[in-house]
Structure 1
Amino acid sequence: MFPLLEVLKSLAQLSLAQLSLAQLFTATVIIVLSPILTDRIAAVRSILFSNYQDYFFPQLTMIIEESDGFSQNQLYAAARTYVGVLFSVSRKPRHFKCRRAIKGEKLVFDFVGEDFYQKKDIAREDSIIANFEGIKLEWKSRAKINEHNGETVSKYFELSFDKRHEKKVLEYYIPHLLARAEEIRKEERVPRLYSRGGSGLGEWLSINFEHPTTFEKLAMDPTLKRMLKDDLDRFVKRKDWYKKVGRAWKRGYLIYGPPGTGKSTLIAAMANFLKFDIYDVDISSINSDLDLRKILLSTSNGSIMVMEDIDCARLEKGGQQNKASSAKFTLSGLLNVIDGLWSNCGDERIIVFTTNHKDKLDPALFRRGRMDVHVHMSYCTIDGFKLLATNYLKIEDDHQLYRQIEVLLANVEVTPAEIAEELLNSSGSSDDVVLARLVEFFEQKLHVKAKAAELKERLKSADIDVDAEGLVKFLKQKKLENAKEKEVEQLLNSGDTDIDAEGFVKFIKQKKIEDAKAAEAK
């Protein structure tokens, strides 16, 4: 505005005598204030232009917040998906984030967070422009920051557009955004695995869920597998039916069975089959029924909420909690979430409970409408074994050892996880060698089972009541007491607890006599 170089040149052409005091003062003011005036004039010019724009072309700004009270704002979730695509087709802002997920093929773009601008101490310039039927729409991502700890309190989008197009934006553009986001979700989106950050009740953190398991690769009963696929397929196609009969569009599954039978793997197959996100809920981090409701309402539609090992909560009837419980919410609170008023908040949702001990659960959980489908993941059968052999060994046809293996599997308890581990350890060997080793593995298990049955029968005939868990602990303790340090190490590594059954029974009898005498003397 006031070129400093020109002022200096003009002053240089004049002698000191020719300059009056007023001229010197004016020149000094111009030299000192020139940078400041330049910035101020630019700011004034920007304000005037903005006021001109607001007067002749008034703008509206729509705020789309991440959550709406308790629940997640579905419009925000759709906008996040939609804006992510805009980065690929529109001019990017001055600052933006770029990443590629593990095993991902495409680059993913996003707005830079508030913390970036705070650390850099620079103004935000991060809008992205969309065009819809000749209407210019400006998207911005913003967040509310806690001034005390600097953590993000909430996130929201700002959508700005000309006031003249308000009706068209609300009636046509927003529905277009929702429909387009749904198309993107179905066509391109990989399911995501969510988990609560911090203490378990913070913001949901997520990664791409790229588990390779499908129903086709799952080692479970073929009839049960087919039933489960049909049930899931029927559920997602019956939106209108649920609305017609006045029921919440949700479904509950109870998956139970011994450890290693594939309960978590089945959940992965369900998510891949439906293309649903998974919300992994840690029951030990839930401090109240209110926390449980918040977790449910913060999940998105088209998702699976998983609560593993639900028997560990040990909740009692009437809302009373067992003192030994690791969770702090009540049974009534849990039932209200899965089958009460709060269960109607959201659509197309699946709730999955898993447990190793179905008999420990309260029968109230089994009622229809709560856990609609009970899935028993049993020990491996011959059908499951053949599928594992196909997956690991590529054996498509029948094998001469299959008949022997079928007989062994009918008499021993072995999980798919155990068989898979044996197959992995035998990789590189021929099919015949691998299957022969598995036959030996099953025969060894059968031998251990027979020894345990023999010992149990001897104890029973001797009228000695010893629980199995206590017996195992006793045997290990006795071996530790009688073994040298080296033998102890070998015992712990091998898990060997083989003790002569007849001698053990005699020892127990003698022990009972000694205990009786001691009690009588006392």
Structure 2
Amino acid sequence: MASLLKELPSMSTILSLYASISGLSMLIRTILNEMIPRGMRDLIAKNFSDFFATYFSSDFTFIIEDRWQAVENETFRAVEVYLPTKVGPSTKSLLIGTNDTNNIFAPPKPGVPVDVKVVDFFQGMHFEWTLCEKEAKKYYHRQKKFFELKCKSNYREQVMQSYLPYISKTAAAILNNRETLNICTYDNEDSTWESTVFKHPATFDTLAMDPDLKKFIIEDLDLFVQRKDYFQSVGRAWKRGYLLYGPPGTGKSTLVAAIANYLRFNIYDLQLQGVRNDAQLRRILTSTTNRSILLIEDIDCSTKSSRSRDRNKNPKEDHDDDDDEGSDQLDNKLSFDPGVTLSGLLNFIDGLWSSCGDERIIIFTTNYKEKLDPALLRPGRMDVHIYMGHCTPAAFRKLAFKYLGIKEHVLFKCIEDLIQSPVITPAEVAQHLMKRGEPQVALQSLIEFISMKEAEMVEKNEAKKDEQEVIKEEVGKQDEKQSKILTTSAYLT
């Protein structure tokens, strides 16, 4: 042992050798820097790095961000749905909660916390998932999320060809069989959609609507969801636009709820008044997901003018009404901000941006269809126009069965005769039927209410007729006076 230690070089010899090697390496680096251009050096360094990473590293990492270019990343969404089902004993922490505000006893659902590893196995392969966050661009005002998938480098092809498609199919099955739906509203501060559980009891079975109209809507929805290949073959985006119009209280919002429950689609409720400009509108709309309903209520209230771009009014009258803005600007701008245009909305629902998403229902509601610009009303934007009118006999019978539990009564004929004229809405009928538990009393009260409304309508029409007569008489006097002036002027001439 002692002889072996004597043969080892001394510390001073080792330091001297290290200094010689360091000096030589610095000399070689200086010569290379002088002789080889920077671009060539970077290429050589990259090739060496790739070589060592390929042959000496056995790990590979996939990055799946929440947005892909300008739209939501569907792969991220699929992983987000799939991964909570794979939380197991190896997961060190678990995110749980519920957004079901209607049921405080609802069991919490699992979620994946940030920076927590989730292990998954697929066809004998081992995978490690981690949800990460990082600062996003300033205009998002929120953290940007992404998943990291770590695996062996020789699994790369299987991940792309088998594993990720399997995740997408599994996530689609989970979404199709989901028990609860969400309704989402846009949070301008965080620049993201906020959701809560949507549990509206309305269905097509409970909907007080004309049976033929109800059948038409159901068949149209069924045909839409079954025709993906057809839409692709004719070169159209897979979407459908509905316009629900009619007086307040006729069940437009209830029909939206019934459609969502029937299709099992989430609802994105967009308030146009809160959108600042076209750029934000495009970002908001492209962040909605497939298999969803985009709801824009009271679209007529989002425009400065109810007049069409094809109006034939006197230009002078238009100028008098719109001193501050030109008529073209008036028709094309939305009321909440000069930067938001009607064309910005049209471009998403029927322009190039309409192709950014599949299997989407776009529903507009309005109380005054005549106020809408014709550009919004044409097919491709609002494909189906559904008039939600006053209560019909068939709708009344549906409401009577739902609220009173009766299918026939001696007073039904009287009520059906009274509601032939458009004097009462389904909401008013439902409100009266809810007030009384006894069918006889409830129906008698409803008859009195309808009769009172009809009398008020007659009185209002008479007053309006008298007002028109007065106006007509005043116009006649003005015309007669003007005629006398012209006659006198002609005589003097």
TM-score by length of 2: 0.75
CA contact (8 A) 1:277 1:302 kept: yes
Counterparts of 1:155-194 in structure 2 under 5 Å?
155-194=145-184
Tell me how far apart the structure 2 counterparts of residues 206 and 55 of structure 1 sit (CA, whole Å): 47
Q: Decide which of 232, 236, 257 is 1:247's aligned counterpart.
A: 236
**CA offset at residue 91 of structure 1?**
2.2
CA distance in 2, matches of 1:148, 1:222: 52
Equivalent residue for 1:385?
396
Deviation larger for 104-113 or 382-391: 104-113
Give the 3-state SS of the residue equivalent to 1:215 in structure 2: coil
Matched, 1:423 2:430: no
Structure 1 stretches of 5 or more lacking a match?
Answer: 1-52, 114-123, 467-522
Aligned partner of 1:142 in structure 2 is 132
AA aligned to 1:413 is V
Whole-angstrom CA distance in 2 between matches of 1:319 and 1:131: 61
Shift, 1:203, TM fit: 0.9
Deviation at 1:54, TM superposition (A): 11
Moved more, 285-294 or 239-248: 285-294
Partner of 2:188: 198
The correspondence for 1:131, drawn from 118, 121, 125, is: 121
- AA of the residue aligned to 1:320: Q
**Are residues 1:313 and 2:306 paired?**
no
1:105-504 to structure 2, matched below 5 A, reads 105-113=106-114, 124=115, 126-145=116-135, 152-199=142-189, 202-314=191-303, 317=309, 320-321=329-330, 325-328=335-338, 329-395=340-406, 397-426=407-436, 429-463=437-471
The structural deviation recorded for 1:257 is 0.8
Which SS does the other structure have where 1:380 is aligned? Answer: coil
Contact 1:412 1:446 in 2 (8 A): no
1:75 equivalent in structure 2: 75
The answer for unaligned runs of 5 or more in structure 2 is 1-52, 310-326, 475-493
Q: Contact conserved, 2:91 with 2:119, CA < 8 A, in 1? A: no
Alpha-carbon distance, 1:150 to partner: 12
Q: 1:197 to 1:324 in 2, by over 3 A?
A: closer
Please give the alpha-carbon distance, in whole angstroms, between the structure 2 residues aligned to 1:218 and 1:110: 36
Give me the whole-angstrom Cα distance separating, in 2, the residues matched to 1:150 and 1:294.
Answer: 10
Is 1:97 matched with 2:122? no
**Do the aligned residues in 2 keep the contact of 1:412 with 1:445 (CA within 8 Å)?**
no
Tell me the amino acid that sits aligned with residue 184 of structure 1: I
Amino acid in structure 2 at the alignment position of 1:265:
T
1 or 2 for the larger relative contact order (CA 8 Å, sep ≥6)? Answer: 2
Shift of 1:68: 1.3
Distance in 1 between residues matched to 2:444 and 2:55, nearest whole Å: 86
Report if the CA contact (8 A) 1:315-1:330 is conserved: no
RMSD of aligned residue pairs (Cα, Å): 2.6
Matches of 1:430 and 1:465 in 2, distance apart? 52
Displacement of 1:319 in angstroms is 6.8
Identity of aligned residues (%): 40
465 and 215 in structure 1: CA distance in 2 versus 1, 3 angstrom threshold: farther
Name the aligned partner's letter for residue 109 of structure 2. V
> Which residue does 1:61 correspond to in 2?
61
**286-295 vs 250-259, greater mean Cα deviation:** 286-295
CA contact 1:254–1:353 (8 Å) conserved in 2: yes
Give the deviation of 1:278 after TM superposition. Answer: 0.8
User: TM-score, with normalisation over the residues of structure 1?
Assistant: 0.71
Instruction: Tell me how far apart the structure 2 counterparts of residues 100 and 278 of structure 1 sit (CA, whole Å).
Output: 18
Look up the match of 1:498: none
Q: What is the match of residue 42 of structure 1?
A: none
SS of 2:205's partner is helix
1:147 CA drift (Å):
11
CA–CA separation in structure 1 for the residues paired with 2:440 and 2:335:
49
Question: Counterpart amino acid of 1:406?
Answer: E
Q: Measure the CA separation in 1 of the matches of 2:182 and 2:90.
A: 26
Deviations 1:248-307 (A, max 9, x none): 111111111111111111111111111111111110011222222112211111111111
- Cα offsets for 1:333-387 (capped at 9, x unmatched): 2221111111111111111111111000011112111110001100111111111
Distance in 1 of aligned mates of 2:138 and 2:303: 39
| Partner SS state of residue 138, structure 1 | strand
CA distance in 2, matches of 1:136, 1:250: 39
- Output one character per residue of 1:487-507: Cα deviation in whole Å (capped at 9) or x when no partner: xxxxxxxxxxxxxxxxxxxxx
Q: Give 1:164 shift.
A: 2.0
